[in-house]
Chain A
Amino acid sequence: MKQLTIADKVFQSRLFLGTGKFGSSLQMEEAVLASGSEMVTVALKRVDFETETDRLLSHLQHSHINLLPNTSGVRNAKEAVFAAQLAREAMETNWVKLEIHPDPKYLMPDPIETLKATEELAKLGFVVLPYIHADPVLCKRLEDAGTAAVMPLGSPIGTNKGLKTFDFLQIIIEQSKVPVIIDAGIGAPSDAALAMEMGADAVLVNTAIAIAGNPVQMAIAFRFAVQAGRMAFESKLANKVHHAIASSPLTQFLHEEF
């Protein structure tokens, strides 16, 4: 299978994981390792930089795992830029998952502030991965602003409802020049497989694994689903045919001698 490249990094795994909501840090670590993921998001606000062994980060010290700090909690571009700078300093990475959801009820990303912050952060040399609505025009605007990837939502975050935005995701994937990572709402391995079959470059999963009855086994299930979906995409899926081939073809007469 083809490798995924974002900015200057190459990934074997196309499954990214969120690290929140797990019943314990140890369980989170086991699930991350089982998933084969090479990129996990970490909420900046959860990290305690003052204690030497932060409860979260101490469980993510593996050479193959890249940490992607997210700005969850900020409400506008200004706060997001500040949080990204804080992350760069504290976690020594210029990668940032930009999350600006001023609405704490449904955690809907603010497209206007997200675009503003992406422009600013790209100028400051960040590798920006913004969490956004499945809005094809916004994706193109973000590309112009210098985003490293786009992360459109499949359905509202944490809902496990799957790819409710399917038609818009298709347009985004078709048009995008940067990697498309489907984020939020992926509730089952079958959703992840479908996203990969569509041609998404990667998926990000958190809730569906973290609160599963057996998070480690579920992480493995997602690992396989993502691989299967990607393999299917690269193998070129056969077209779906809704009707049997017509028995009286309309163009048959062209082959007949008059």
Chain B
Amino acid sequence: MKSFKDTFDQYRWEDVQASILAKTSKEVESALAATHRTPEDFKALISPAALPYLEQMAQLSHQLTKKRFGKTIQLFAPIYLSNECNNICTYCGFSLDHKIKRKTLTAAEILQEINVIKQHGFNHILLVTGESNHTVHVDYFIKAIEIIKPHFANISIEVQPLSQDEYEQLQHCGVYSVLVYQETYHKEKYKDYHLKGKKSNFYYRLETPDRIGLAGMHKIGLAVLLGLEDWRTDSFFCALHLDYLQKTYWQTKYSVAFPRIRPAEGVDISDYHISDKELVQLMCAYRLMNEDVEISISTRESELFRNHLIKLGTTTMSAGSKTNPGGYSLDEESLEQFEISDERTPEEVATVIAANGYEPVWKDWDTHFNMHHHVNI
């Protein structure tokens, strides 16, 4: 199969890192002046040399986002269906080696959870699980989606990597988008962080967006887990991945997110910290390279920081999130995947968005569009 691996293998981590650090203010200025920006421009924009240009980048990002997406922010809620997991990932609260209570929601529990989520006004929902192929497999997803579909206009999933055939099944039953984060593009470090389980296969994960694209999914979400390695080099590879995917699966939409490692059960805070200022730089760099990529900001970030990010390129936000299965309605003791930072209710977040002159958008899709219906053309 032709995949991103062919492109990826042409690069050496150390070379990329060195070339980002070597970028000069002249190269930053040329990237800022360009009408069409390439991954090479992206390198300049995320380099230390670009920091003095942050205000200019922010202004451009604001203008470009407004032009493309209007003054709107799309809202969604995650629903954690299961925290069972057969992987050992050293940074994750769901990791197999953590002796925590495991829970997978039953059909009745899913209904209870979505009732609460619906009451807040959400119409877009993201289904999240760990990776436990015996209990939480494609048949489980299909059953869950059948329960959820009548109540939501748009369904995304963030689960273990699946086969192209499985993605096709899920698309057929109403899934609009799939989020699959590479975590880190550093091949060797990836092995250190993902000690056991299917997730330890670096290339299988790297090629997952190809399989999603081939399955004809409407949207693919990419990200690096910021804090596992040098954020600049990792983000360049993610931007390169995005660039490759857009050219290959041209009918698909894309989104990026910037999850920073948050404290979770038994997890140390990392050495590869990315500051608020650098995160803004990264977000603006994505927008400057890619006018149409959706940018999603989760409740991992603080209230105040999220308020400011509304105007800097954000298109999508979660709100009122619970990251444990049953978190919305069951009050279970099951542990969360990571600590939430912005604990405001969805209504409060929507009010802040409106106060910034933006329209909170609760619905921007219709599951009817996904239906495989009978029109003979």
Q: How far is the CB of B219 from chain A (nearest CB, A)?
A: 8
Interface hit among A44-52, A195-203, A219-227: A44-52
**Does A24 lie within 8 Å of B354, measured CB to CB?**
yes
Q: Which residues of A contact B359 (CB under 8 A)?
A: 22-25
* Size band of the interface chain A makes with B: 35 or more
Contact of A22 among B70, B251, B252, B373 (CB under 8 A): B70
Contact with B along A154-182 (1 / 0, CB 8 A): 00001110000000000000000000000
Query: What is the bound-complex CA distance between A70 and B358, given in angstroms?
Result: 23
Interface range, B side: 20 to 34
B369 and A83 form a contact (CB under 8 A): yes
B54 smallest CB distance to A (angstroms)? 23
Beta-carbon contacts under 8 Å, A116-168 to B: 116-117, 120, 158-160
Residue of B nearest to A119 (CB): B377
With A24-B359, A48-B363 already in contact, the answer to whether A104 and B67 are too (CB < 8 A) is no
Chain B at the A interface: SS class = loop
The answer to whether the Cβ of A207 comes within 8 Å of any Cβ in the partner chain is: yes
Alpha-carbon separation in the docked complex, A20 to B373 (Å): 28
Q: List, in ascending order, chain B residues with CB within 8 A of A21's CB.
A: 69-72
Q: Which of B153, B246, B358 has its CB near the most chain A CB atoms (within 10 A)?
A: B153
Binds B, one of A30-38, A72-80, A228-236, A244-252: A72-80
Q: B246 — which chain A residues lie within 8 A by C-beta?
A: 105
CB of B214 closer than 8 Å to a CB of A: no
Q: Residue A64 at the B interface, CB < 8 A?
A: no
Question: Which of these, B354, B364, B368, contacts A83 with CB under 8 Å?
Answer: B368
For the complex, is B137 an interface residue (Cβ under 8 Å from A)? no
| Cα distance, A104 to B217, chains bound together (Å) | 13
Q: B71 to A48, Cβ gap below 8 A?
A: no
B369 surroundings in chain A (CB, below 8 A): 45, 73-74, 79, 82-83
Find the B residue at minimum CB distance from A81.
B375
Please tell me if A62 contacts chain B, counting CB pairs below 8 Å: no
Per-residue CB contact flags for chain B residues 65-92 toward chain A (1 = under 8 Å, else 0) read 0111111100000000000000000000
- Contact A48–B377 (Cβ < 8 Å): no
Per-position 1/0 for A12-23, Cβ under 8 A of B:
000000001111
Shortest distance between the CB of B26 and any CB in chain A (Å) = 29
In the complex, A86 has a CB within 8 A of chain B: yes
> In whole angstroms, how far apart are the Cα atoms of A210 and B68 in the complex?
11
- In order of increasing CB-CB distance, the 9 nearest A-B pairs are A21-B70, A23-B71, A104-B253, A23-B357, A102-B251, A48-B363, A81-B375, A45-B366, A211-B66
Known: A23-B359, A78-B375. 14 other contacts (CB 8 A): A22-B71, A22-B359, A23-B357, A43-B364, A48-B123, A73-B366, A74-B369, A82-B375, A103-B251, A104-B251, A105-B250, A210-B70, A211-B66, A211-B67
